């Protein structure tokens, strides 16, 4: 009975599934009270037939719950999910498996509905205090109002949204990018499910699609790799590029030599103080916090610096601090306390490459290039991911690459990019000499070459092919 109480072993023991470890991980995450789980996946990886079916039957039988589901197209419910549920009807002889529902003791315990019925989800109510499971399938084609109706108005105890990505727009894309910190994320590709590894996908079938359409074809990106089809116009990074760097962390050697750089991002108002550090090829957030008392925040920055000094040999000349706005008086206070860090002016001249309009554009542009090249071990920080994927960079009227102003980000509903400012700042090389007295040192000769190229996407958006640093 103990195995049946766990959703992943319920799926194997009760339903006879051979679960992929990534499918099992989804079920484990889903059945934690208050969960919000997002699954980005390729086609034919058992999304509906295994994850969806196991989740619904486990919720009904073991948890005594209710379940509702919808999908991007009604056929996904009527011709995929419901028939997959009915294949297990012999295990539950007292249940009534109907065309769009499962009744238990005369009560609708599972209901599938069309995405056209926006009001249905909003009007759905729990019955007799039962917990509620809500599922959105093929989410890329589901209207935001439907998703919100299930997730926010019904307020389910367990919420699962899953699907194959389409264009980089819409509610599902936002969940995977700008809203990523509010969800637990999973990704399943056809390459995860190969026959040679004991699963069901034939390598030859995958190779044929890639050879026929090309690896960058939107269909192949979605169908085979479970990736959104193209980069957002003006974005520094695509979701697949960011995730590829995260997934490569075990292949990147952590070079812990005497190459350190840290960055203090000072808060203003309700924003966060962030201290990030890079040691060799690894970058992470030491601490982020909110503190309306700037003097108290200075004391915390000093204590954190001393901790990194003890653990990694960090020196004060290897630390930059955001000197714009509130940051400058905080830097002055830190100097009074004996910590002489460099003053970084984001609106000032770029330090290494004149192709950028200013220093902060350079930091973000170069950092994005490092991520594309998978040269650094990144932190698994949801705020950083959302901020890095949400901001844009494009040429200004002078032909320089300029970062989208924070004010424009806020107008688009995005938050202040505190973590990204600190982490991209730390990823940059340290300057040779104290910036506070003499400015930045001359750029290395290698940065004279252009770090940008044009991608033939129709609108000729500039992209970062790599970086000269790291």
Per-residue pLDDT of the chain (470 residues; tens, 9 = 90+): 789 999 999 999 999 999 999 999 999 999 999 999 999 999 999 999 999 999 999 999 999 999 999 987 777 888 889 999 999 999 999 999 998 899 999 999 999 987 666 666 666 667 778 999 999 999 988 888 889 989 988 899 999 999 999 888 889 999 999 899 999 999 999 999 999 999 999 999 999 989 888 887 778 899 999 998 766 778 888 888 888 898 888 888 887 777 999 999 998 666 799 999 999 999 999 999 998 888 899 999 999 999 999 999 999 999 999 998 888 999 999 999 999 999 999 999 999 999 999 999 999 999 999 999 999 999 999 889 888 988 889 899 999 999 999 888 888 777 889 999 999 999 999 876 544 433 333 333 333 333 333 333 333 344 343 344 44
| Domains located in the chain, CATH noted | 7-230 (3.40.50.300), 260-463 (3.30.420.240)
Two tokens at 460? 């000729």
Distance CA(105)–CA(86), nearest Å, equals 17
Global pTM value: 0.69
Beta strand spans in 84-125 (E): 96-97, 101-104, 107-112
Nearest C-alpha neighbor of 221 from the set 234, 232, 212, 210:
210
Phi first, then psi: what are they for 189, rounded to 5°?
Answer: -105, 160
Alpha carbon distance, N-terminus to C-terminus of the chain: 53
Q: Where are the beta strands (DSSP E) in 6-145?
A: 35-41, 66-71, 96-97, 101-104, 107-112, 132-137
Q: Which of 427, 403, 434, 428 is nearest to 417 (CA)?
A: 403
């Amino acid at each position: 009975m103990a195995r049946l109480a766990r959703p992943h072993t319920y799926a194997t023991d009760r339903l006879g599934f051979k679960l992929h470890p990534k499918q099992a991980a989804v079920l484990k995450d889903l059945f934690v009270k208050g969960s919000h789980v997002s699954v980005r996946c390729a086609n034919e990886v058992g999304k509906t037939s295994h994850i969806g079916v196991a989740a619904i039957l486990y919720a009904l039988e073991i948890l005594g719950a209710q379940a509702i589901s919808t999908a991007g197209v009604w056929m996904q419910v009527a011709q995929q999910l419901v028939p997959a549920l009915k294949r297990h009807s012999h295990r539950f002889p007292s249940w009534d498996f109907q065309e769009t529902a499962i009744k238990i003791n005369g009560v609708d315990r599972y209901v599938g509905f069309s995405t056209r019925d926006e009001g249905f989800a909003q009007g759905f109510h729990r019955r007799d205090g039962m917990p509620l499971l809500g599922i959105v399938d093929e989410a890329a084609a589901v209207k935001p109002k439907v998703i919100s109706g299930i997730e926010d108005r019904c307020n389910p105890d367990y919420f699962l949204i899953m699907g194959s990505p389409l264009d980089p727009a819409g509610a599902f894309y936002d969940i995977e990018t700008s809203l990523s910190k509010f969800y637990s994320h999973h990704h399943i590709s056809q390459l995860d499910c190969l026959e040679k590894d004991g699963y069901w996908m034939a390598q030859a079938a995958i190779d044929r699609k890639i050879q026929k359409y090309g690896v960058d074809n939107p269909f192949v990106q979605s169908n085979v790799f479970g990736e959104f089809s193209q980069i957002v116009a003006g974005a520094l990074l695509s979701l697949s590029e960011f995730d590829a760097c995260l997934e490569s962390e075990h292949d990147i050697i952590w070079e812990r030599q005497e190459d350190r750089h840290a960055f203090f991002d000072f808060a203003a108002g309700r924003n966060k103080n962030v201290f990030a550090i890079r040691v060799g090829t690894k970058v992470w957030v030491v601490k982020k916090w909110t503190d309306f008392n700037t003097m108290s925040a200075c004391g915390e920055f000093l204590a954190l610096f001393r901790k990194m000094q003890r653990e990694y040999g960090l020196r004060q000349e290897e630390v930059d601090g955001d000197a714009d706005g509130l940051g400058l008086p905080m830097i002055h206070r830190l100097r009074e306390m004996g910590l002489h860090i460099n003053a970084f002016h984001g609106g000032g001249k770029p330090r290494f490459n004149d192709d950028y309009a200013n220093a902060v554009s350079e930091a973000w542009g170069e950092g994005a290039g490092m991520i594309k090249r998978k040269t650094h071990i990144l932190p698994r920080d949801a705020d950083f991911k959302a901020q890095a994927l949400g901001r844009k960079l494009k040429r200004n009227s002078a032909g320089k690459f300029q970062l989208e102003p924070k004010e424009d980000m806020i107008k688009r509903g995005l938050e202040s990019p505190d973590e990204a400012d600190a982490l991209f700042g730390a990823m940059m090389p340290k300057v040779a000499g104290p910036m506070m007295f003499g400015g930045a040192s001359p750029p290395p000769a290698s940065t004279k070459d252009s770090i940008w190229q044009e991608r033939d996407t129709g609108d000729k958006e500039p992209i970062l092919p790599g970086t000269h640093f790291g």
